[in-house]
Structure 1
């Protein structure tokens, strides 16, 4: 096993446990993946992110064929749609976190920009977050919906399902997912109030300074 793969396995276990213990991914919900030089690592189907076993993680080759470990999550089409569309993506995080999922269920949210720019960090780490229509979990029907958006957006809300975020590393994807969840919480807590959004010039300054790369 390469040092890269060993580190990726350790990272999946560590970050999965961290998010589970903080209530971001209850039960056996959510799934994670990492792109390796020779393939991919995925969390197994029906696994709890708080109790992952590094030796039982699913390994797939570069063509997406399962070659070792437990059977992978059923959400492979979701992850591969990001990897195919974003060459910079080295990891994908999909959770059923409470506030982002709640936001994905609202009928009056802007489908092109579900997370308003109310804090600098959501602009810096997440960017605009579109919503794609509902598809059955695990269905390949989600893939073209993701590919249509993921080139410009590292984070997407799945309608009535929850967030999915790609990052240049697993850590980056986790941090962006957590920022999305916290901002979704702020959006819902302040719903109906007079919100002061960041101005277009302020957003442009943040984007130019921090050069979001999901």
Structure 2
């Protein structure tokens, strides 16, 4: 039976359901936490408010028009301000993923992390796929106050930690955003596991080479 969606929208709906289930089943975002969005030619698809990413329904995903008005499906996540701020600041962004992943959320709660870069360069892959990860001051979940904070950082940073809240990652596709989120979470895990140890970080020359080779364009 033919769906009312374009091929692009149907593929995006299927990707949101598939990746949402994968993230949930691997324990990367518990309960009804986390939200995702995809930018379409005619608007946006967003996970609904209070939905569990492991049990998303193709037909109930929130559809928004290009101006961000809700036009179909269930009511969208309350975190729309952070999603739209990324799309505004990063023209290449086609998807945004926000999770409450354990280790990266833990880093967002620590008072002694570097607010300019919470993820130290301990592997080449975090530099290649994520880059430097700033920590924003705390804002209430869903508050529009987060938008200008993200717009100030997102042009140079595809990944951000929301203070005492968790990670947000933008990508050129949903798959790219998920892969970068997974790399961020795994490196946050390594960072916490090695706290207090004599860790060997990548040097500035090595970082510069990676950044020049794998440019994270805005």
Moved beyond 4 Å, runs of 4+: none
Does residue 1:5 correspond to 2:33, yes or no?
no
Given that 1:168 and 1:213 are in contact with CA atoms closer than 8 Å, whether structure 2 keeps it comes out as no
Distance 1:92 1:143 in 2: 14
Which TM-score applies when normalising by structure 2? 0.97
Which of 167, 179, 184 lines up with 2:183 in the alignment?
A: 179
2:91 match: 87
Considering only aligned residues, what root-mean-square deviation do their CA atoms show, in Å? 0.7
Distance 1:204 1:112 in 2: 17
1:56 match: 60
2:135 match: 131
1:78 match: 82
Distance 1:126 1:58 in 2: 28
1:156 match: 160
Q: Can you give the 5+ residue segments of structure 2 that lack an aligned partner in the other structure? A: none
Which TM-score applies when normalising by structure 1? 0.99
**Local SS of the residue matching 2:74:** coil
Does residue 1:40 correspond to 2:44, yes or no?
yes
Does residue 1:195 correspond to 2:195, yes or no?
no
2:125 match: 121
Q: Can you give the 5+ residue segments of structure 1 that lack an aligned partner in the other structure? A: none
Distance 1:66 1:26 in 2: 26
Which of 100, 104, 112 lines up with 1:100 in the alignment?
A: 104
**Local SS of the residue matching 2:164:** coil
| CA displacement 1:73-125 (0-9 Å, x = unmatched) | 00000100000100000000000000000000000000000000000000000
Distance 2:35 2:105 in 1: 15
Instruction: Note the C-alpha offset of 1:59.
Output: 0.2
Instruction: Note the C-alpha offset of 1:212.
Output: 2.6
